[in-house]
């Protein structure tokens, strides 16, 4: 029996990658596409690698003062206050998945819709694709958890749980803003909220390329109905285009509109300028949006917001090295077959949780 790493250069999950020569005669190939929230909120610039399981988060609070009136013969009484800096320490978690191809999985096993028998390489490739899909869902759920609850998803593991809003700002997030979409004032409510978000972005020194509201199905339907009522009919709303994240946020890690059919699931409001995007409420029964009547107004393409911190695998090959996105290992046994192990040691976080504005609608 031997346990060995599969290719130390496992590349970004945002791009296709190839793991070859897992064992003699076996080639593992896979192509990984990111989920929607992954593409929208995590660009290639938002990845941090550390050499252990800890990351120091430095918070600098900048204050703004205005001059005060004085007589011509006086000195200005308004004094600029010093900015305050705090260091916070966060830890990554460790997450893993495995798959096995036993002799019984190959012996006499016919491929569906074919008379050909499976080869060992084909079974390994099949398990590889399933593991890839699991990691895509893992990342999407992790980001959704941070977006909708300000907390990291621990997947029932031993990883520490953080509330990034509370940890950074020292207080709980206010309740979601009620858009009152059954009335006539929703346009003003949303525009006022956009004003607050823009001011908060300016204070935080965060630039962005556009504003979007990621919505559950119920809330999206209400926003669409409100737009129709105010604009005088559905014909005034263009929902037929494919959502292109490159327009919303620039280059977001290789995600292209061609890879995600997103027609009639978004529109840019003529009333507010915000792009409303309809999301599935859950993945595999696990909530993405933290409710079916929820939405989150966010600055898209913003730096210094969502980020992923990666730690190295605690093995002799990788200890004290800089963390990578994923690690893959293989065990070969004459009777148990080939077992694939993969792990990701990561923390998904929002470094500017104030810039996410939760919304809902009571009517």
H or E stretch including 132? helix 120-149
Intra-chain end-to-end CA distance of the chain, in Å: 63
pLDDT at residue 70, as a whole number: 66
Both tokens assigned to 294: 């929820």
pLDDT tens for each residue of the chain, 363 residues long? 445 555 433 333 333 333 333 344 444 444 455 678 888 887 655 889 999 998 876 554 555 566 776 667 777 666 665 555 566 889 999 999 999 999 999 999 988 888 899 999 999 999 999 999 899 889 999 999 999 999 999 999 999 999 999 998 889 999 999 999 988 899 999 999 999 999 999 988 888 888 999 999 999 999 999 998 888 766 667 666 656 665 565 444 444 334 444 556 788 898 999 999 988 888 778 888 888 899 999 998 888 899 999 999 999 989 999 999 999 999 888 899 999 999 999 999 999 999 999 999 998
173-224: pLDDT as tens digits: 999 999 999 888 999 999 999 999 999 999 888 888 889 999 999 999 999 9
Enclosing H/E stretch for 283? strand 282-283
Distance separating alpha carbons of residues 363 and 122, to the nearest angstrom: 53
For residue 152 the two structure tokens come to: 């990291």
Which of 276, 255, 280 lies closest to 266 in space, CA to CA?
276
Angle at 164 between CA 86 and CA 266, to 5 degrees: 130
Q: Which helix (H) or strand (E) holds 267?
A: strand 266-268
Residue 256's pLDDT is what? 39
Which of these, 182, 293, 194, lies nearest to 230 by C-alpha position? 182
Instruction: List beta partners, residue 327.
Output: 343
Cβ distance 7 to 328 under 8 Å? yes
Is-contact 57 351, C-beta < 8 A? yes
Q: How many residues appear in the chain?
A: 363
The residues facing 61 across adjacent strands are: 84
Measured CA to CA, the distance from residue 48 to residue 324 in angstroms comes to: 9
Q: Which domains does the chain have, with CATH numbers?
A: 2-62+83-159+306-349 (3.30.2400), 173-305+352-360 (no CATH)
pLDDT, tens only, 322-347: 999 999 999 888 899 999 999 999 99
Report in angstroms the alpha-carbon separations of 337 from 100, 128, 267, 271, 355.
Answer: 7, 15, 51, 61, 50
Quickly tell me which residue has 């036993």 as its tokens.
102
pLDDT of residue 5: 52
The pTM is what? 0.79
Note the pLDDT tens digit of each residue in 98-121: 999 999 999 999 888 888 999 999
Q: Which residues make Cβ contacts (< 8 Å) with residue 60, sequence separation at least 6?
A: 83, 84, 85
Any idea of the CA torsion for 258, 259, 263, 265, to the nearest 10 degrees?
-140
């Amino acid at each position: 029996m031997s346990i060995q790493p599969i290719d130390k250069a496992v590349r970004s999950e945002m791009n296709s990658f190839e793991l070859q020569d897992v064992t003699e005669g076996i080639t593992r190939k896979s192509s990984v596409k990111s989920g929607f929230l992954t593409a929208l909120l995590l660009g290639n610039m938002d990845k941090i690698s550390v050499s252990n399981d800890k990351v120091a988060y430095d918070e600098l609070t900048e204050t703004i003062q205005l001059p005060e009136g004085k007589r011509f013969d006086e000195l200005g009484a308004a004094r600029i206050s010093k900015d305050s800096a705090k260091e916070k320490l966060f830890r990554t978690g460790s997450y893993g998945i495995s798959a096995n191809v036993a002799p019984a999985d190959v012996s006499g096993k016919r491929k569906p819709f074919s008379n050909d028998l499976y080869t060992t390489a084909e079974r390994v490739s099949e398990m590889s694709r399933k593991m890839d899909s699991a990691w895509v869902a893992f990342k999407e759920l992790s980001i959704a958890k941070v977006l909708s609850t300000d907390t990291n998803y621990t997947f029932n593991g031993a990883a520490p749980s953080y509330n990034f809003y509370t940890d950074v700002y020292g207080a709980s997030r206010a309740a979601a803003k009620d858009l009152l979409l059954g009335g006539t004032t929703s346009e003003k409510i949303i525009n006022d909220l956009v004003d607050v978000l823009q001011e908060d972005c300016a204070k935080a020194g965060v630039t962005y390329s556009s504003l979007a509201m990621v919505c559950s199905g119920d809330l999206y339907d209400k926003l669409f109905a409100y737009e129709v009522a105010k604009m005088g009919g559905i014909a005034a709303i263009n929902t037929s285009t494919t959502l292109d994240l490159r327009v919303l946020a620039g280059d977001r890690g290789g995600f292209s509109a061609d890879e995600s059919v997103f027609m009639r699931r978004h529109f840019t409001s003529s009333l507010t300028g915000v792009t409303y995007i309809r999301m599935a409420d859950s993945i595999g029964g696990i909530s993405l949006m933290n409710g079916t009547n929820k939405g989150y107004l966010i600055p898209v393409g913003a730096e210094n917001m969502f980020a992923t911190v990666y730690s190295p695998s605690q093995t002799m090959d990788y200890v004290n090295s800089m963390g990578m996105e994923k690690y893959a290992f293989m065990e070969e046994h004459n009777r148990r077959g080939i077992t694939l192990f993969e792990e990701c040691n990561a923390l998904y976080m929002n470094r500017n949780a104030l810039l996410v504005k939760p919304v809902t609608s009571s009517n």
